[in-house]
Amino acid sequence: MPTILTINGEQRVSSRGPMTPLVDVLRDEFFLTGAKSVCREGVCGACTVHLDGQPVVSCLVPIGTIGEREICTVESLAAAGEPSPLQQVMEEHDVVQCGMCFPGILMVLTGFLRERPHADRDEIKAALAGNVCRCTGYERLVDAAVALARA
Ligand code: FES
Ligand code: FES
C-alpha cells in the first residue's frame, strides 16, 4: 500500500513498505540525496532531517510511522534559491566539509538555533554531540554557528 509523505512542502507517494527507513525513500525513491546513509544505527547523524521541525535520524524512522508530519530535508534550506543564514555563515567562515557529515550537521544546527537562537559555544558543541565527522573537524563550523548566534 502506498504511503503519502509531505516532503519539503510537496506531497509525495512512496511505493515502499511501511517499515522502510525514511532515508532510503528520500535517497533512492525521490533522489533527495542530501541525507546520507552511513551507520544506519542512529549514531552518526549523517541522515538527519526534520520532522515537524525537529531533527530526527531518518535511518531509524520507518515511513509508516510518519503520518501527516512534515519532512524537511537539507535540500529545503536553500529552496528559495538563496542559501539559509546558516549556510551563508558557513560559507563566510570557509567551512569546507566533505559532504558526508555536513547535511546532518546543518539540519541539527538549523533546528537547534531556531529554538536557541543565541546559544553559546558550549551549547552549540553539545547540540552536535550526535553528529560524527570523520575527516575534517568541528572548530570552524562551530565558529560559524557561534557567529550566527551572536549576530
Ligand atoms: S545513518 Fe542515520 S544516524 Fe547514521
Ligand atoms: S565526515 Fe567528511 S567532513 Fe565530516
Q: Three cell numbers at 76?
A: 529545503
Mutate to test the pocket of ligand 2, among 109, 135, 139, 140 (most ligand atoms within 8 A of CB): 135
Within the chain, which residues score under 70 in pLDDT? Answer: none
* pLDDT given for residue 79 in this prediction: 79
CATH class of 78-150: mainly alpha
CB distance 135 to ligand 2 below 6 Å:
yes
Q: Which atom of ligand 2 is found nearest the CA of 134? A: 1
* pLDDT given for residue 65 in this prediction: 98
CB distance 37 to ligand 2 below 6 Å:
no
CB distance 72 to ligand 1 below 6 Å:
no
Mutate to test the pocket of ligand 2, among 97, 108, 109, 141 (most ligand atoms within 8 A of CB): 97
CB atoms within 10 A of CB 20: 18
List Cβ neighbours of 115 (8 Å cut-off, separation of 6 or more). none
pLDDT tens digit string along 10-44? 999 999 999 999 999 999 999 999 999 999 999 99
* pLDDT given for residue 29 in this prediction: 98
Average pLDDT over the chain reads 96
C-alpha–C-alpha distance, residues 55 and 127, integer Å: 11
Residue 140 CA, distance from chain mean position? 18
What residues does each domain of the chain span?
3-76, 78-150
Burial pattern 26-45, b for ≥16 Cβ within 10 A else e, equals: bbebbebebbbbbeeeeebb
Cα of 94 from ligand 2 centre, angstroms? 14
The 3-class SS string of 78-94 reads HCCCCCCHHHHHHHHCC
Architecture of the domain spanning 3-76: Roll (3.10)
* Long-range CB contacts for residues 127-130, cutoff 8 Å, separation at least 24: 130/43, 130/44, 130/45, 130/57
